[in-house]
Amino acid sequence: MKARFIMVTGGQRSGKSVFAETLALQMSPHPTYLATAKVMDEEMARRVAIHKDRRKEIWRNIESPLEVKGIDFTDNEVVLIDCLTLWATNWFFERNENVEDSLTALRDQIEWLMTCNTTFIVVTNEVGLGGVSCNSMQRRFADLQGYINQLVASIAEEVYLIVSGIPVKIKG
């Protein structure tokens, strides 16, 4: 058996994480939460605390802002990756804002995930829905995010778009 991917996308504060957590709990009594955030300020620390409090102790928690290759996932494990946008952000700055290098690194990580006998629920953002930024760095990042979202959507069996807390199944 190979990895199974489910993608959950939408805007900021649309309800993506809550929907993805509910999905994971429907599939497993003890899912894994793979956190990609780097906590760099007090506001981000509060966001992370809210997520952790909501999940309680039934979740296995792994924090990995860059490398996921080599994480020991068990067969048939359900893993929620929250989120692809922060993961892409981390690689973008790790690779000096180079879109191609960042995309290559992310593809390499995702290709490794594809070899696992695991279900991955991937939360991401549609950063490009807000229009084209006047800032060059933001445009490059939006390009990276668009490319990586397309890759994950192409391998996902199911894709959900969350709009104002309402899930709309757009694939599968």
Length of the chain equals: 172
Instruction: Give the pLDDT band of residue 57 (cuts 50, 70, 90).
Output: confident
Instruction: Give the pLDDT band of residue 18 (cuts 50, 70, 90).
Output: very high
| Alpha carbons 88 and 95: distance in angstroms, whole number | 10
Instruction: Answer with the residue of higher pLDDT: 51 or 170.
Output: 170
> Please, what is the average pLDDT of the chain?
92
* Residue 101, phi then psi, degrees to nearest 5: -65, -40
Instruction: Give the pLDDT band of residue 134 (cuts 50, 70, 90).
Output: confident
pTM for this entry: 0.92
Predicted local confidence at residue 157, as pLDDT: 98
Give me the active site residues, please. 51
At 84-107, the pLDDT tens digits run 999 999 999 999 999 999 999 999
Pure H helices in the chain? 16-27, 42-55, 84-94, 99-113, 136-155
Predicted local confidence at residue 81, as pLDDT: 98
Q: How many domains does the chain contain in total?
A: 1
Instruction: Answer with the residue of higher pLDDT: 91 or 42.
Output: 91
Domain around 159: 4-171
Q: 142-168 as b/e, with b when 16 or more CB fall inside 10 Å?
A: bebbebbbebbbebbeebbbbeeeebe
Q: Confirm if 65 and 109 have CB atoms less than 8 A apart.
A: no
Predicted local confidence at residue 39, as pLDDT: 79
At 65-75, the pLDDT tens digits run 999 998 999 99
Peptide bond into 116 cis (omega under 30): no
Read off the amino acid at residue 18: V
Predicted local confidence at residue 1, as pLDDT: 63
Please tell me what DSSP assigns to residue 41. S
Instruction: Give the pLDDT band of residue 82 (cuts 50, 70, 90).
Output: very high
Closest Cα to residue 8, out of 37, 26, 17?
A: 17
Read off the amino acid at residue 30: H
| Alpha carbons 134 and 72: distance in angstroms, whole number | 42
CATH number of residue 106's parent domain: 3.40.50.300
